Amino acid sequence: MRRGLVCTLAVLIFVPAASGATPTFTIEATSATGAAPLRVTFTARGDAASYHWDFGDGSSADGTTVEHTFAAGRWTATATGRSASGETATQSTLVAAYGLTLSTRTPARYGRAAVFKGAIVPAERGLPVTLMGPRGRLAQARTAANGSYAFRARVRTPGNYIAASERASSPPLALRVVPKLVTKLSGSGARGTPYYFTARVVPAGAGTIAVKVNRGARVIVERSFPRAARIRLDTRRLTTYSIRAEVQPAEGYGRNVRLLRASVVLPRLAYGARGIPVVQLGRSLRALRYAAPATAVFDGRMLDAIYAFQKVQRLPRTGVVDGRFWRALGSAQAPRPRYFQPADHIEVDKARQVLFVVRRSRVSLVVPISTAGLAGTFTPVGRFSIYRKVNGFDPSPLGTLYDPMYFTGGYAIHGNPSVPPYPASHGCVRVPMWLASVLYADTPYGQAVYVY
């Protein structure tokens, strides 16, 4: 019994244990390159007892065969094989899951160029990308080094837009389109003559047209038209119509609104004219912030207002109110200032030869002016402020100035009997005599003056 035990112990001591070996294996991946989300199947082949997978995106799995879905990007998937005795080995493979983005401002304007932007992820330089719209291909571009790309394409159709490449396609981008609303006043607007308002929507199937016509507070017409509108305006008396046309959009299209004013007038007014048409003319100009007198006589003050309107609207500076003038007056909007701060300031627009009095960041008065026009003279440009005012007449080397307001050096805004519709001063800003005192009283010391 004792002898057997000794032999057994000898065997345990002298027979060495089996040593471990590092596992050997390979890995295979199906569809390691493609559009995201990319589903990849991984398989390990070898003598490892177990396999652990790290997909490089924070996810992992165990098994000989595993599946994983990758978001857009470039990833490294690593398999770790472990033997029965604990030794490990690793193998890695690359995965490229491509994603394509596409964006633009919506809604787009019908027929106008829209900018579409996007990028390929992971970034790849020189990749051709095609913009596809509801009616087919619109544009093509190539990606930059950072993967970005841009298209400029004219948009005419609402619907889904897609960027496509050999790597991937973007998700559909739903785009709305604002149709054109073409409005027109046909006729001179003269009393007793045919005068029509017409409107049409482009493209024709983009929606119906709702039209509302007011004469003062009274609604004259309020109805909808399927494609185009045509309304005859009553010209038996002098009046002004307010017209609102709106596209009530079909599916995929956006809303569009146009506002117009149509005036029934005498066909031609010139210096010396008098009567109701002159009264109406002054009322319409004042509503647009032009310095126009409340009078039934077409005098020099009214002529100043006519010149100011023609300058702003870039009409011929004739001083005559004709059909073209009335049509422009009917559709005009009050001018907007170039600057909005400070809220109260003065702007001198040398190009159009007008002065804007700006109050609360809006134009409150439009005045005709005449700046430097003589050879060798100029009117300085920049931002200044009123630093000196002289009430009444102030003699100067170049003449007597009326109610001058000096804004830099010897340059001033001042009244002058001669304010032609073109540059003619020695450098100062001339304004009509009847408006000089108005500006003087309304402009405090330190008021900002922009000259451009």
Do residues 353 and 442 share a domain?
Answer: yes
Q: For 316-365, what is each residue's pLDDT tens digit? A: 999 999 988 988 998 899 999 999 999 999 999 999 999 999 999 999 99
Q: Of 243, 264, 285, which residue constitutes the final position of a domain?
A: 264
Give the pLDDT score at 398: 75
Q: Which pair of structure tokens corresponds to residue 40?
A: 């990849």
Give the pLDDT score at 192: 80
Q: Which pair of structure tokens corresponds to residue 145?
A: 């080094």
What's the CATH code of the domain at 420? Answer: 2.40.440.10
Low-confidence ranges of the chain (pLDDT < 50): 1-19
Closest C-alpha to 66, from 57, 56, 76, 79: 79
Do residues 446 and 355 share a domain?
Answer: yes
Do residues 170 and 214 share a domain?
Answer: no
- Domain assignment present for residue 10? The answer is no
Give the strand order in the sheet containing 354-359. Answer: 362-368, 354-359, 345-349, 448-451, 382-385
Q: Of 48, 67, 99, which residue constitutes the final position of a domain?
A: 99
Give the pLDDT score at 404: 98
Do residues 148 and 215 share a domain?
Answer: no
Give the pLDDT score at 212: 98
Do residues 259 and 294 share a domain?
Answer: no
Do residues 54 and 122 share a domain?
Answer: no
Do residues 191 and 256 share a domain?
Answer: yes
- Domain assignment present for residue 126? The answer is yes
Q: Of 177, 205, 225, which residue constitutes the final position of a domain?
A: 177
Number of domains in the chain: 5
- Domain assignment present for residue 250? The answer is yes
Do residues 83 and 121 share a domain?
Answer: no
User: In angstroms, rounded to a whole number, what is the distance separating the alpha carbons of residues 1 and 23?
Assistant: 44
| CB of 269 closer than 8 Å to CB of 295 | no
Concatenating the DSSP letter of every residue in 125-181 gives: TT-EEEEEETTEEEEEEE--TTSEEEEEEE----EEEEEE-SS-BPPPEEE-EEPEE
Give the pLDDT score at 126: 97
What's the CATH code of the domain at 84? Answer: 2.60.40.10
- Domain assignment present for residue 11? The answer is no
The domain of 382 spans 345-451
Task: Return the exposure string of 372-382: e unless at least 16 CB atoms fall within 10 Å of the residue's CB, then b.
Answer: bbeeeeebeee
Give the pLDDT score at 345: 98
- Domain assignment present for residue 132? The answer is yes
User: In angstroms, rounded to a whole number, what is the distance separating the alpha carbons of residues 171 and 155?
Assistant: 19
- Domain assignment present for residue 17? The answer is no
User: In angstroms, rounded to a whole number, what is the distance separating the alpha carbons of residues 294 and 434?
Assistant: 13
Do residues 437 and 356 share a domain?
Answer: yes
Helix (H) or strand (E) holding 8: helix 2-14
Give the angle subtended at the CA of 275 by the CAs of 272 and 279, to the nearest 5°: 100
Give the strand order in the sheet containing 196-202. Answer: 180-186, 196-202, 228-232
Do residues 49 and 114 share a domain?
Answer: no
- Domain assignment present for residue 20? The answer is no
Do residues 112 and 156 share a domain?
Answer: yes
Do residues 95 and 114 share a domain?
Answer: no
Give the pLDDT score at 87: 96
